[in-house]
Amino acid sequence: MTPEQRTQIEAAAWRNLVGHLQKRTDVQNINLMVEAGFCRNCMSRWLANAATAIGQPLAESAAREWVYGMPHGEWKAKYQEKATDEQMARFNAITPEQTTE
Protein backbone atom coordinates (compact mmCIF):
# COMPACT_ATOMS: atom_id res chain seq x y z
CA MET A 1 0.00 0.00 0.00
CA THR A 2 1.34 3.40 -0.95
CA PRO A 3 1.21 6.38 1.40
CA GLU A 4 -1.30 8.00 -0.97
CA GLN A 5 -3.56 4.93 -0.83
CA ARG A 6 -3.35 4.90 2.94
CA THR A 7 -4.32 8.57 3.05
CA GLN A 8 -7.28 7.91 0.73
CA ILE A 9 -8.45 5.02 2.91
CA GLU A 10 -8.08 7.02 6.11
CA ALA A 11 -9.92 9.98 4.56
CA ALA A 12 -12.79 7.73 3.48
CA ALA A 13 -13.02 6.23 6.98
CA TRP A 14 -13.05 9.75 8.49
CA ARG A 15 -15.86 10.82 6.14
CA ASN A 16 -17.84 7.73 7.10
CA LEU A 17 -17.38 8.44 10.80
CA VAL A 18 -18.41 12.08 10.41
CA GLY A 19 -21.44 11.08 8.30
CA HIS A 20 -22.43 8.45 10.85
CA LEU A 21 -22.29 10.94 13.72
CA GLN A 22 -24.26 13.49 11.69
CA LYS A 23 -27.03 10.90 11.34
CA ARG A 24 -26.81 9.79 14.98
CA THR A 25 -27.98 13.03 16.55
CA ASP A 26 -29.35 10.92 19.41
CA VAL A 27 -25.79 10.23 20.52
CA GLN A 28 -24.82 13.09 22.79
CA ASN A 29 -21.28 14.41 23.04
CA ILE A 30 -21.25 13.64 26.78
CA ASN A 31 -21.89 9.97 25.94
CA LEU A 32 -19.06 9.95 23.44
CA MET A 33 -16.71 11.56 25.96
CA VAL A 34 -17.59 9.13 28.72
CA GLU A 35 -17.46 6.02 26.55
CA ALA A 36 -14.77 6.87 24.00
CA GLY A 37 -12.82 9.79 25.42
CA PHE A 38 -13.59 12.09 22.46
CA CYS A 39 -16.58 13.85 20.94
CA ARG A 40 -17.61 15.88 17.91
CA ASN A 41 -15.88 18.95 19.34
CA CYS A 42 -12.63 16.99 19.68
CA MET A 43 -12.98 15.90 16.07
CA SER A 44 -13.49 19.53 15.06
CA ARG A 45 -10.30 20.55 16.84
CA TRP A 46 -8.38 17.70 15.19
CA LEU A 47 -9.70 18.80 11.80
CA ALA A 48 -8.77 22.45 12.37
CA ASN A 49 -5.32 21.48 13.68
CA ALA A 50 -4.68 19.14 10.73
CA ALA A 51 -5.68 21.86 8.26
CA THR A 52 -3.44 24.40 9.95
CA ALA A 53 -0.56 21.91 9.97
CA ILE A 54 -0.61 21.78 6.16
CA GLY A 55 -0.91 25.53 5.78
CA GLN A 56 -4.68 25.69 5.33
CA PRO A 57 -5.91 27.53 8.42
CA LEU A 58 -9.42 26.45 9.36
CA ALA A 59 -11.36 28.25 12.06
CA GLU A 60 -12.68 25.96 14.76
CA SER A 61 -16.21 27.22 14.07
CA ALA A 62 -15.87 26.19 10.41
CA ALA A 63 -14.45 22.82 11.47
CA ARG A 64 -17.40 22.31 13.83
CA GLU A 65 -19.83 23.07 11.02
CA TRP A 66 -17.98 20.51 8.89
CA VAL A 67 -18.24 17.85 11.60
CA TYR A 68 -21.77 18.65 12.77
CA GLY A 69 -23.12 19.18 9.25
CA MET A 70 -24.61 22.52 10.30
CA PRO A 71 -23.64 25.47 12.48
CA HIS A 72 -22.80 24.26 15.98
CA GLY A 73 -25.39 26.51 17.61
CA GLU A 74 -28.10 25.13 15.35
CA TRP A 75 -27.12 21.54 16.19
CA LYS A 76 -27.14 22.34 19.90
CA ALA A 77 -30.58 23.94 19.68
CA LYS A 78 -32.02 20.99 17.76
CA TYR A 79 -30.31 18.00 19.34
CA GLN A 80 -28.28 18.69 22.46
CA GLU A 81 -29.85 17.56 25.70
CA LYS A 82 -28.84 18.67 29.16
CA ALA A 83 -26.35 16.23 30.66
CA THR A 84 -27.71 14.29 33.59
CA ASP A 85 -26.03 14.32 36.98
CA GLU A 86 -24.94 10.71 36.37
CA GLN A 87 -23.40 11.60 33.01
CA MET A 88 -21.53 14.52 34.54
CA ALA A 89 -20.28 12.37 37.42
CA ARG A 90 -18.97 9.79 34.96
CA PHE A 91 -17.39 12.52 32.83
CA ASN A 92 -15.75 14.16 35.85
CA ALA A 93 -14.30 10.78 36.88
CA ILE A 94 -12.29 10.63 33.64
CA THR A 95 -8.77 11.90 34.10
CA PRO A 96 -7.23 14.05 31.36
CA GLU A 97 -4.88 11.15 30.51
CA GLN A 98 -7.87 9.02 29.53
CA THR A 99 -9.28 11.45 26.99
CA THR A 100 -7.87 12.17 23.57
CA GLU A 101 -8.37 15.94 23.65
Q: Which domain holds residue 34?
A: 3-91
End-to-end CA distance of the chain: 30
Task: Kindly state whether residue 14 falls inside one of the protein's structural domains.
Answer: yes
* CA–CA gap between residue 4 and residue 26 (Å, rounded): 35
Residues of the chain with pLDDT under 70: 95-101
Residue 83 belongs to domain with CATH number: 1.10.3340.10
pLDDT at 4: 96
Look at the chain and report how many structural domains it folds into: 1
User: pTM (2 decimals)?
Assistant: 0.84
In tens, the pLDDT along 38-54 reads 999 999 999 999 999 99
pLDDT at 81: 95
How far is residue 3 from each of residues 8, 40, 68, 81, measured CA to CA in Å?
A: 9, 27, 28, 41
Task: Kindly state whether residue 98 falls inside one of the protein's structural domains.
Answer: no
